[in-house]
Structure 1
Amino acid sequence: MRHYVEMPRRLFAAAPRLHRQRLLAAALGLAAACAWAQDAAPAAGAAASQPVRNSTLDAPLFYQLMIGELQLREGDPGAAYQVILDAARRSQDETLFRRAVEIALQARAGEEALSATRAWRAAVPTSQEALRTELQILSALNRLDQAADPLRALLLLAPASERSSLIAAVPRFLQRAADQAHGARLVEQVLTPYLEAPDTRVAAQVAIGRAWLAGGDPARALDLVRQAHAADPAAQGPVLLALELLPTRPEVEPIVVEYLARPQSEFGLRLLYARALTATQRYAEALRQMEIVTQQRPELAPPYLTLGALYLDLKQPVPGEKALRRYLELTAEQAPAPTPPADTAGDDEDVAAVPAQGRIQAWLMLASSAEQRGDYQAAEAWLALIDDPQRALEVQARRSTLLARQGRVDEARRLLQAVPERGPQDARSKLDAEASMLREVKRWQEAYEVTAQALQREPDDPELLYEQSMLADKLGRSDEMEQLLRRVIVLKPDNAHAYNALGYSLADRGERLPEARDLIARALELSPNDPFITDSLGWVEYRLGNRAEALRLLQRAYTSRPDAEIAAHLGEVLWAEGRQDEARRIWAEARARDAGNEVLAETLKRLKVTR
């Protein structure tokens, strides 16, 4: 496609007879589209007496379209492009301009695609589609210096009632540009006039803010979203942008909370907020949002799946299983409901079906919950419902853990090793599953050896190195753990968990505490509001003697994620502060959720707390 001008025009030559009818059909299809675009029936409700406009599709144009499609099928996209574009110019038909652009894009000929869109604009100056297409191509070609004119023209063509929506979409036109900061400057330049008009001000502020977020300036985006929300607290646009900012700029959260406190707030935004909370492991807060969603829209199935997962992660199996069963009930129309395990069987029919992925996920979580309760028969019954070859390893991994928990570790390992491998990634996944199963039953040395096998295949894999560091810690090899974590940081400098794990290990041993605090602070910069990292920072502050700051941080972490290990740390600080009743209450809550937690058990033993 780089040499359209020089390409010979073999228009109708050498088309095999075998393909003639098929190619003719394709040309007819394009011709019909051209005719339909010009002669479509009046819209419903329009006057039936409107004059009939004859199509401009005459015989020469028809044959020209047929020739263009034949050339494309014969592997000559350059000739096809020239023929179709010429037909578009002669007829000024947008369908044909669109087709010329498609041919050029399919052949990865950006210059020709851009030429076609500009010819399209020249022929149909009021075409918004031509302008949108030109903007997208300029973005892909990284020619943002040429995008201001079509962008301004597009905004001027939009009806006043639609202009705010179009302004909000402006950053998407430029999202493929390599230089996003340049794109942000362009968006701000073009949209600045719209900041003055009351009906477009908020949309322009949000669009510029989104462009600057993509352009690497979240501080500028934060300032704009605050301005937009202050200008119109009822507008959704600022809230959506605030949700995008939330993972890295937690100070924007009050905007989201204030909006969701409104009686008429959209449940869809609440779902997005819950997702953002989950991404930062603030599961307790995400759970509260999902409970509100299911109360507002009890007929919707997907929220129950998320709700069930959150309950189970927070060690609340009873409401978790209830939510998951409700999800299965609501999705029964798409796939038959499963037969409940023997301990809960009712009058449901025993049906076999290939379930949707959501139902498979629900069954896996129900199996995991039953396993945690020690009901291995029920767990296996849920797993038996899954008949999906793509999830075979996942199912066998759960089965292996069931076996291992019953002391049948060798059998569990053989089960995983027997899973067929379809490629190199499957071999890695099998080793991951085996190591995970061994960790579940605290077979640290064997898990270490399996992970070492995986590292032989991929010695610079940050995830494997991190897992090996955690196993080295369990084996008391603190020097090796530190070496592995520092290797992870070199390979992946933005890995918050590596900084946190190294800092926490130093703090827990009471070693190099200022360095430990710096490491954890860096982790919190990379992952703001992560409750486990906040817990680590609180713990190192406690070890440094800063009890008030430690208590503040640990209470915040526990509120977001009432985990047993965080409870152990919070309780110890409360205990040291003489607030023993509060400490006992926190520990009692943690024992009720996760009585087997090692950190909690060690803390209670060391402090000689018996109740």
Structure 2
Amino acid sequence: MMTCMKFWFRLAVLSSCFAGAWAQSATSSADTPKKPSALDAVLFYQILLGELNVREGSAGSGFSIMLDAARKTRDPALFQRAVDIALQARSGEAALQAAQTWKKELPQALEPNRYILQILLALNRIEEAGHALTSSLNELPLSEQTAAIISVPGVFGRVQDKILAATVVEKALQKALTQPQTTASAWTTIGRMRRDAGQIPQAVEAAVKGHGADPQAQGPLVLSLSLISNASSTLKPMLDAAMKKEASAPLRLGYVRSLIGLQLIPDALAQLSLLNNKFPDFADGWLVHGLLLFENNRSLDATKSLETYIQLTAQSKDTEQLVGRVEALVALSKMAQRQGQIEKAKFWLTQMPANADPLKLASRQADLLTQQGQLEQARMTLAQVKTNTAEQALKKNLAQSLWLRENGLAPEAYLLVKNALTTSPNNAELQIELALICEKLKKYEEMETLLRQLMLSNPKEPHAFNALGYSLADRNLRLDEARQLINKAVELSPQDPFIQDSLGWVAFRQGEHLQALQILRAAYKIRPDAEIAAHLGEVLWTIGQTQEATAIWREGLQLKADNETLQETLKRLKIKP
């Protein structure tokens, strides 16, 4: 029973992903010879008898009668009906027999190729499917082969043995690799298959070869974007060179996102400037540019970019651009608030789309009210947000807890999160939030218990390791253990600037001041943040670079004047920057 069910599941998936990509190729006029104007009585009776057998539950007899009629007439419609009957009866071998007979009787027909390949894959006969793929591609007109080749990873996507699938497909594409029109697409498909099989070096090699075969082809470049984190030294120069040519706006933006993922922020900003200049009407480029400038504390330039995005999308009804408008307006409001322009900050919030996330809007309003000293109103603004789903309720609890924790109401945050955990006891975000509250309340044993439980249940969750490691380092306790925990967090999330901040801070606690300075400088460059500024400033102050320390602290105050770590650092060192 299980084997039969697996076959039908695979076949259903393969059929859905394959049919659309090859539909055009499968409708060649060579597939369908003219039908006779009328069936003779004997043949008509035979077809009718076959259908009656199927209806009465004798699918095997109906299949045999229909396939015999198809052979006699060489009618593609009857061959297809025979295949369908076998599929409905869940007989993969019979379906394969019918499709192969169809191909034998009508060698020029393309449609049976599709069925043969689908059925072989569903039967997990991968090497035979490779031979069928080779035949199918060879029979297609050269002009249609590229589209078919591009569809292959989706066709083979459900194969369990990814390495075998990649090897079989690469063998099937050998002829395509020798044809200039299809070389780039063939290497792209091979690269995708190798990547999905975990064979990263081979995938990178395929991307490079595909680009070398046709520098204008998009496929190898898109493949490179998915691999750049594994081979940036090889792929980044290639992508940089491609971006100097006529690359499309979406491809350029994809490269920018890859650079941001690698924390190559200056490179990402440079590419965004080129993108905005070459495609001034491409709204998404202005949004990403503005948000990245905002995160790097370049408010003036960020404001210009985000206002451009708002103008370009003023009449847009596109769902993604409406979400983008919300992000842009929130950032504009935050920048105005930083500059003390409270009314301007409020104005940006009045421009929110009607379907904007109410919690995101309420959080921003609460932040403004808090700065104005209207704490009770700020608290009520968050409390009054209505939620309709469990996910929305979770986000509301986290937003409320964060506000309570940051505004001297940690005991109430503790009760709130404890209550939320009764309905979502295994939620990692709630567990980490409770651990942070426990640290603020000096419930260190409970905090450590929570975080260690989270490490066991979610061993790939970097923030649990980082939170405990940082807490130990900040309290100057068990520093070797703290460093091990933070190193584990770095291993899990090497580009996270806040985890790098923890690494720099534990190095400082261990007396490695120059190493701490190097790590914290890099973290602050990636993400200007008040807490990182507090730590970087203290390291600079300790090694005697007091002027730079004071300048960094001033920047931190501009970023978030009420940051608790920064304020505590200045108070402890008796500094007024």
| TM-score normalised per structure 2 | 0.75
3-state secondary structure, aligned to 2:357: helix
Cα gap change, 1:422 to 1:563, in 2 (>3 Å): closer
Is this contact kept in 2: 1:399–1:412, CA < 8 A?
yes
Q: Deviations over 1:61-119 (max 9, x none)?
A: 9x99x99xx99xx9x9x89x9799869875654899499769969x9997787677656
1:541 maps to what in 2?
A: 507
Matched, 1:515 2:481: yes
2:12 maps to what in 1?
A: none
Number of aligned residues: 548
Candidates 124, 127, 131, aligned match of 1:149: 131
Give, in whole Å, the separation in 1 of the partners of 2:308 and 2:498. Answer: 31
Matched, 1:293 2:275: yes
Give, in whole Å, the separation in 2 of the partners of 1:369 and 1:604. Answer: 24
Cα gap change, 1:120 to 1:570, in 2 (>3 Å): farther
Larger deviation, residues 584-593 vs 479-488: 584-593
Give, in whole Å, the separation in 2 of the partners of 1:449 and 1:176. Answer: 47
Is this contact kept in 2: 1:171–1:207, CA < 8 A?
yes
2:388 maps to what in 1?
A: 422
AA paired with 2:139? L
Give 1 or 2: higher helix fraction: 2
Q: Deviations over 1:37-78 (max 9, x none)?
A: 6889xxxxxxxxxxxx996385669x99x99xx99xx9x9x8
Tell me the CA shift for residue 459 of structure 1: 0.6
1:221 maps to what in 2?
A: 203
Give, in whole Å, the separation in 1 of the partners of 2:237 and 2:443. Answer: 46
Larger deviation, residues 109-118 vs 213-222: 109-118
Report the identity percentage: 37
Cα gap change, 1:427 to 1:575, in 2 (>3 Å): closer
1:554 maps to what in 2?
A: 520
Give, in whole Å, the separation in 2 of the partners of 1:109 and 1:367. Answer: 63
Larger deviation, residues 424-433 vs 201-210: 201-210
AA paired with 2:435? S
1:308 maps to what in 2?
A: 290
2:357 maps to what in 1?
A: 391
Give, in whole Å, the separation in 1 of the partners of 2:348 and 2:91. Answer: 53
Matched, 1:455 2:421: yes
2:307 maps to what in 1?
A: 325
Q: How does 1:226-305 map to 2 (within 5 A)?
A: 236-247=218-229, 251=233, 254-255=236-237, 258-260=240-242, 262-279=244-261, 285-305=267-287
Candidates 446, 471, 478, aligned match of 2:444: 478
AA paired with 2:464? A
Q: Deviations over 1:513-548 (max 9, x none)?
A: 333333333323322333333333333334334445
Give, in whole Å, the separation in 2 of the partners of 1:326 and 1:303. Answer: 10
Q: Deviations over 1:200-233 (max 9, x none)?
A: 7665554433323212333543455566667877
Tell me the CA shift for residue 170 of structure 1: 3.4
Question: Structure 1 stretches of 5 or more lacking a match?
Answer: 5-32, 41-52, 337-354
Give, in whole Å, the separation in 2 of the partners of 1:567 and 1:316. Answer: 16
Give, in whole Å, the separation in 2 of the partners of 1:440 and 1:95. Answer: 73
Tell me the CA shift for residue 182 of structure 1: 3.3
3-state secondary structure, aligned to 1:452: helix
3-state secondary structure, aligned to 1:274: helix
C-alpha RMSD of the superposition:
5.0
1:182 maps to what in 2?
A: 164
Give, in whole Å, the separation in 2 of the partners of 1:530 and 1:267. Answer: 27
2:430 maps to what in 1?
A: 464
AA paired with 2:281? E
Larger deviation, residues 264-273 vs 251-260: 251-260
Cα gap change, 1:231 to 1:84, in 2 (>3 Å): same
Tell me the CA shift for residue 460 of structure 1: 1.0
Give, in whole Å, the separation in 2 of the partners of 1:284 and 1:452. Answer: 42
Is this contact kept in 2: 1:250–1:528, CA < 8 A?
no
Tell me the CA shift for residue 297 of structure 1: 0.6
AA paired with 1:537? L
Matched, 1:495 2:464: no
AA paired with 1:153? S
1:9 maps to what in 2?
A: none
Cα gap change, 1:162 to 1:88, in 2 (>3 Å): same
Larger deviation, residues 94-103 vs 225-234: 94-103
Larger deviation, residues 452-461 vs 266-275: 266-275
Is this contact kept in 2: 1:428–1:454, CA < 8 A?
yes
1:526 maps to what in 2?
A: 492
AA paired with 1:210? R
Give, in whole Å, the separation in 1 of the partners of 2:402 and 2:81. Answer: 53
Give, in whole Å, the separation in 1 of the partners of 2:92 and 2:290. Answer: 48
Question: Structure 2 stretches of 5 or more lacking a match?
Answer: 5-22
1:29 maps to what in 2?
A: none
Cα gap change, 1:228 to 1:505, in 2 (>3 Å): farther
Q: Deviations over 1:294-346 (max 9, x none)?
A: 1221111222222233233334444333323222221234359xxxxxxxxxx
AA paired with 2:35? T
Tell me the CA shift for residue 426 of structure 1: 3.9
AA paired with 1:304? W
Is this contact kept in 1: 2:363–2:382, CA < 8 A?
yes
Is this contact kept in 2: 1:259–1:265, CA < 8 A?
no
Cα gap change, 1:431 to 1:554, in 2 (>3 Å): closer
Give, in whole Å, the separation in 2 of the partners of 1:83 and 1:397. Answer: 68
